[in-house]
Amino acid sequence: MLPKNAVPRLQTVQQHILDRQRTQHPDATGEFSWLLSGITLATKIIADHVRRAGLIDVLGTAGHTNVQGEQVEKLDIIANETIAACLGYRGNVGIMVSEEDDEPRIIKDLDDQARYIVLFDPLDGSSNIDVNVSIGTIFSILQRREDVAAGRVMDHILQPGYQQVAAGYVVYSSSTVMAYTTGDGVHMFTLDPAIGAFRLSREGVTMPESGRIYSMNEAYRRKFPDGIKRYLDWVKSEESGGYTARYIGSLVADFHRTLLKGGVFCYPPTVSAPRGKLRLLYEANPLAFIAEQAGGTATDGRERILDKIPAALHQRTPLVIGSKSEVAKIAEFWQP
């Protein structure tokens, strides 16, 4: 029972960011929390659309493909435009990069004020939209480079993941959950529909060091590298001690489970996608940052995801992400 006059702790994501800034970065101007509040606003609007899917006209395809040749769903566009609208007028975002846009959106010349670059997958797991399976939004935040002229847009965007100043995701599921990091641990919030605010639900989340869950689209087995095939034989063998498989088909939801329960998610190169399917800048990098901040790890089979120097906006990468010992186990079988 709470002591007399005690007030139960209720912390919104905004309060959390401001509190941590106050204690750890007393010189912070607050503009970063202003930027993140643009993201939380956008994801609340998206969550509202997702919740009413079937009642409002958001299901189905938009009738065209994106720059990556993938079918675009109506909700992909709604999510993309919602994020652009919520961030575009914050004053401190110079460039936005989205999975759904061929080219970066230049909002303002990068200067001391407009110094952030936001990269995002507005809606991850598009194939699950129409069937009420978990989907999400993933975002990564970079700062402009001090050593490069403002007009050299691609140089500012193509920074390695270790330069991220923040990253996060939102899963639209049985509840709407947001996780973010600014390099100071991973914190999780649940959207309280009664008040329309994300409330702190877990602070300083840590990923279990191991976990007997593997997450891979095994239907592609014949297209996988031999080492991955050997790993798949091993997980099913008695020698492994027994694993279970979980694959949702929404990276963000598969990652969320991996973060909380441990295990490994792996999307290796395949014969049809020799560089992997997932995108480095707005899928792998932000989740790798979160994984590492929670004590997990992420590689492309060869090197740490966060060390990869990007060469293109929509660059793809193989991804092995999760509990340290499970990622290491895959590396025992597969060394590309």
Q: Which is nearer to ligand AHG, 187 or 279 (CB)?
A: 279
Q: Which is nearer to ligand AHG, 17 or 313 (CB)?
A: 313
Q: Which is nearer to ligand AHG, 21 or 82 (CB)?
A: 82
Q: Which is nearer to ligand AHG, 3 or 69 (CB)?
A: 69
Interacting residues of 76 by C-beta distance below 8 A, sequence separation 6+:
62, 66, 100, 122, 123, 126
What residues between 260 and 279 interact with ligand AHG by CB under 6 A? 277
Structural Rg of the chain based on CA atoms: 20
How many Å apart are CA 320 and CA 142, to the nearest integer? 23
Helix (H) or strand (E) holding 319: strand 319-322
Q: Which is nearer to Mn ion, 76 or 235 (CB)?
A: 76
CB of 277 to Mn ion, least distance (A): 9
How many Å apart are CA 271 and CA 225, to the nearest integer? 8
CB of 100 to Mn ion, least distance (A): 7
Binding residue for ligand AHG, selected from 12, 37, 217, 240, defined by CB under 6 A: 217
What residues between 127 and 186 interact with ligand AHG by CB under 6 A? none
How many Å apart are CA 328 and CA 334, to the nearest integer? 10
CB of 97 to Mn ion, least distance (A): 13
Binding residue for Mn ion, selected from 21, 74, 107, 121, defined by CB under 5 A: 121
What is the number of residues in the chain? 336
Residues 139 and 40: beta-carbon distance below 8 Å: no
Question: In this chain, which stretch among 186-194, 246-254, 305-313, 328-336 interacts with ligand AHG, using CB under 6 A?
Answer: 246-254
Residues 269 and 276: beta-carbon distance below 8 Å: yes
Half-sphere CA count of 111, side-chain side, radius 13 A: 5
CA angle in degrees (0–180, nearest 5) for 194-195-198: 110
x/- letters, 34..73, toward ligand AHG (CB under 6 A): ------------------------------------x---
Interacting residues of 27 by C-beta distance below 8 A, sequence separation 6+:
none
Question: In this chain, which stretch among 21-29, 123-131, 168-176, 326-334 interacts with ligand AHG, using CB under 6 A?
Answer: 123-131
| Per CB under 6 A, 310 contacts ligand AHG | no
Binding residue for Mn ion, selected from 72, 90, 99, 156, defined by CB under 5 A: 99
CB of 197 to ligand AHG, least distance (A): 26
Interacting residues of 284 by C-beta distance below 8 A, sequence separation 6+:
161, 278, 298, 300, 305, 317, 319, 321
Half-sphere CA count of 52, side-chain side, radius 13 A: 9
- Please choose which of ligand AHG, Mn ion, none residue 43 contacts, taking the beta carbon within 5 to 8 angstroms, the exact cut-off set by kind: none
Binding residue for Mn ion, selected from 92, 116, 124, 297, defined by CB under 5 A: 124
Question: In this chain, which stretch among 21-29, 61-69, 122-130, 306-314 interacts with Mn ion, using CB under 5 A?
Answer: 122-130
Question: In this chain, which stretch among 96-104, 155-163, 171-179, 269-277 interacts with Mn ion, using CB under 5 A?
Answer: 96-104
How many Å apart are CA 116 and CA 87, to the nearest integer? 11
| Per CB under 5 A, 73 contacts Mn ion | no
| Per CB under 6 A, 121 contacts ligand AHG | yes
How many Å apart are CA 169 and CA 256, to the nearest integer? 9
CA angle in degrees (0–180, nearest 5) for 95-149-93: 20
Binding residue for ligand AHG, selected from 227, 249, 295, 325, defined by CB under 6 A: 249
Q: Interface with Mn ion by CB under 5 A: which residues?
A: 99, 121, 123-124
Q: Interface with ligand AHG by CB under 6 A: which residues?
A: 70, 99, 121, 124-126, 217, 249-251, 277
